[in-house]
């Protein structure tokens, strides 16, 4: 039994090393330019061993994205425990969601760069629904967490419920993720005398709060 447990632990460690090295290479160079042999070498595994874990590059790419986002979400949940969130109004809870995107820009730009490359790769490669299912299940769990905000808003009235839950969550996630990703990847043109990117992201965050909350108390811009 101990041998089986040891083997399972070693396999888990090897799989994680593959995911870590793949993420590092993908986020630095883009997904298209990185080859499976390069990943095998970086992770310290044989090519045949790599393909036993991931039979195709697209499977590996989906696994990397799923793993990295799940890891980030777990860290956010640890920083914002459910008991603490339960005491917030719907508007305050919504602001925590928006702050998560600012945290990505401040501290996790590698995730945002990878996500940009991931979107391009998926559009080009068009993996099957089955291949995408781990990623889509992860997205579904993240989106389900937003339901608590909308459900709470029905009781406290601090977030608008005349807008559908689906429309609100789509706007919040798509607008904020697009904005922080664009700044993380880098702007081609920046007007002379323009403000710092984080200040502009704060303006966007506050604009979304004004749109979706009924009486937001917005933080002052630093």
d(CA 27, CA 114): 4
DSSP letter for 214, please. S
- Top CATH class, 57-212: mainly alpha
User: What count of Cα atoms within 13 Å lies in the side-chain half-sphere of residue 98?
Assistant: 27
Q: Return the domain boundaries, the chain.
A: 1-55, 57-212
The DSSP string of 178-191 is: HHHHHHHH--S---
Given CATH 1.10.1520.10, say whether it is the number of domain 1-55. no
Q: Tell if the pTM clears 0.85, that is, is over it.
A: yes
How would you write the pLDDT of the chain (222 residues) with one tens digit per residue? 577 777 778 889 999 999 999 999 999 999 999 999 999 999 999 999 999 999 999 999 999 999 999 999 999 989 888 888 889 999 999 999 999 999 999 999 999 999 999 999 999 999 999 999 999 999 998 888 788 889 999 999 999 999 999 999 989 999 999 999 988 887 655 555 555 788 889 999 999 999 999 964 545 444
d(CA 26, CA 129): 22
């Amino acid at each position: 039994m101990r041998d089986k447990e040891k083997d399972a632990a070693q396999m888990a460690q090897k799989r994680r090393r593959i995911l870590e090295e793949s993420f590092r290479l993908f986020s630095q160079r883009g997904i298209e330019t990185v080859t499976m042999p390069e990943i095998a070498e970086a992770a310290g595994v044989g090519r045949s061993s790599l393909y036993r874990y991931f039979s195709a590059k697209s499977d590996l790419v989906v696994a990397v994205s799923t793993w990295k986002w799940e890891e980030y979400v777990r860290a956010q949940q640890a920083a914002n425990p459910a008991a603490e969130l339960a005491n917030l109004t719907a508007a305050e809870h919504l602001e925590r969601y928006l702050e998560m995107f600012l945290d990505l820009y401040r501290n996790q730009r590698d995730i945002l760069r990878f996500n940009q490359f991931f979107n391009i790769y998926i559009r080009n490669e068009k993996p099957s629904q089955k291949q995408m299912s781990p990623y889509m299940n992860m997205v579904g769990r993240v989106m389900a967490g937003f339901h608590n905000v909308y459900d709470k808003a029905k009781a406290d009235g601090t977030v608008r419920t005349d807008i559908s839950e689906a429309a609100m969550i789509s706007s919040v996630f798509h607008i904020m993720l697009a904005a922080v990703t664009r700044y993380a990847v880098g702007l081609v043109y920046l007007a002379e005398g323009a403000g710092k990117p984080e200040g502009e992201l704060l303006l966007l965050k506050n604009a979304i709060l004004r749109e979706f909350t009924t009486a937001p108390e917005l933080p002052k811009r630093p």
